[in-house]
A and B are shown apart, each in its own frame.
Chain A
Amino acid sequence: MKLKKVEPWIRTLLFLAAVFSILAVVLIIVFVFKEGLPFLRKWGLTTFIFGENWSPTRGNFGIFPMLLGSIYLTLGAILIGLPLGVGCAIFFAEFAPAKITSWVRPAVEVLAAIPSVIYGFLGLLVLVPWLRQLYGGTGFSLLAGSLVLGIMILPTVMTVSEDAIRAVPLSYKEGSLALGATRWQTISKITLPAAQSGIVASVVLGMGRALGETMAVIMITGNVAQVPTSLLSPLRTLTGNIALEMGYAAGQHQQALFATGVILFILIFVLTSLANLVRWKGATH
């Protein structure tokens, strides 16, 4: 009988647990925006976003180079991660013998869990010196960053795409094959279009991971706050800007870094909403 009395209390506790995520997001927004927004209001959103000069100790706060740096690097990572990841997904879902797939799949999942700092470490130690020898310059570059991030997001793109391809009903494929189509015709005309939303979601997920990556990026891109002009240019990302200068910043400089965080948050928010929209659309079809 005592249980009956306790249960409403437990229910309330569980309710509080359920709304905790909402609370956490609100708290994060409030505290990060509280530090960043006054600066944005004073400095001006457009001068902040489109300013090309970042030299906080001289009173210049323009994050355009970092914004472009983040976008270029994310695109570079996708350019490598997308063909490799989706290609592998098709191969392992449709062509490879089940025995091989059952070995590769867990191995790839494990790679998705490797901490990013390890990828950065390898990039710093192997890739950067290699690019320096090959092409001159410092080796810290958009190319190095894209390669490392591309490999880093590959497991994510691959596993999510593979799941999407496997989720296509067998009857679709059987119908196509029965009509005399080859396996490749079936894949390109039937399976891939049907799995489209899942594949797009995998790419958006990978983009989110590349855009939010911090430590690996600081280690291999050179952190130069200038708009990159070629694959071999060094660059700085929004995340790198925050992590690099946070400890050293005071006053207005620190507020500018929180404002960078605000911009990053908004970018990720748009991307996450996009991913949800795609997944939701795919689910209703």
Chain B
Amino acid sequence: MLTPKAKERLALIILGSIAVLTVAILAITLGYLLAKGLPAINWEFLSQAPRRMGRQGGIFPFILSTFYLTGVALFLAVPVGVGAAIYLTEYAKVRWLTTTVRFFTEILAGIPSIVFGLFGFIFFVITLGFGWSLLSGGLTLALMILPTILRTAEEAIKTVPYSYREGSLALGATQGQTIWKIVLPSALPGILTGIILAVGRAVGETAAVLLTAGSSVLPPLGLLDSARSLSVHLYILAVEGISTEKAFATAVVLITLVLILNFTATKLVRRLTPQ
């Protein structure tokens, strides 16, 4: 038998090596991507349209499509998600409603993206006749990111102290005025954090977008135009073996986008957390 002291040392060594290994794996993954992808990124790559299915040229239309898709998704998911959070925290009187909505939100959050893709395809693309388009893709993404926005908004609104509301109500403001002028501004950093995290998920999604927005290489001009997002483009470049160099470069652009979003979110969280 080992003495407790020896056990402690052993545990520390094992846990320490696990930590080093993990950090090393993650650092190598990221470093490898950057080393391979950065050299291929230049202004031409970011600002030009692809030629020969992406073998040459750039990724500008896909950056544009990614922004448009995310925009459409937010246009629906933000009002609905934040609205639902306000209702659940400020208005809902019966407990079962809150519990039910929360349960269904969890279910929605757990649904695999390919099932969202199936649904978006049969509902938006076929049944509603939107075709493979920004609209179909954006609406599908909206459903996917709704749980993230709803939950974070709910948490953020809950952390606003009761005294704020009481003060406002005591001054004669209506409940609506109190929410609009007092509660929402205080909860705004938290709500924004949720939105940014949701954008990260929308930007990275591949399977559902491929099934609902299609993969046209042209920049979309209308809501009913097909669009190819950066992740879909990366998938096609990699799987079809079109160009490894361009695939690495696209991956780095995609990661940079997600990293910027995440750092912004972390900064906001930090500003939000009371010292």
Contacts and interface: CB of A to CB of B under 8 A. Distances in A.
Contact of B111 (A10, A18, A28, A121): A28
A123 to B, nearest CB: 10
Interface stretch (B53-61, B182-190, B219-227, B247-255): B247-255
Contacts of B200: 113
Nearest to B112: A212
Contact of A121 (B104, B197, B234): B234
Contacts, number: 249
Interface in B99-133: 100-101, 103-119, 121-123, 127
A151 B266 contact: no
A261 B115 CA distance: 6
B240 to A, nearest CB: 11
Interface residues of B, number: 89
A212 B110 CA distance: 8
B204 A182 contact: no
B234 A28 contact: no
A4 B173 CA distance: 10
Contact of B15 (A87, A182, A215): A87
B108 A18 contact: no
Interface string A32-45: 10010000000000
B57 to A, nearest CB: 20
A246 B5 CA distance: 59
Contacts of B101: 18-19, 21-22
> What is the predominant secondary structure among interface residues of chain A facing chain B?
helix
Size bracket of the A interface: 35 or more
Which among B147, B176, B266 has the highest number of chain A CB atoms within 10 Å? Answer: B176
B110 A271 contact: yes
A104 B247 contact: no
Contact of A32 (B122, B176, B251): B122
A269 B32 contact: no
A177 interface: no
Given A11-B91, A14-B83, A109-B266, A87 B19 contact: yes
Contact of B147 (A11, A21, A88, A106): A21
Interface stretch (A55-63, A90-98, A167-175): A90-98
A111 B26 contact: yes
B97 interface: yes
Closest 6 pairs (CB-CB, A-B):
A212-B112, A115-B204, A17-B83, A87-B18, A272-B110, A14-B87
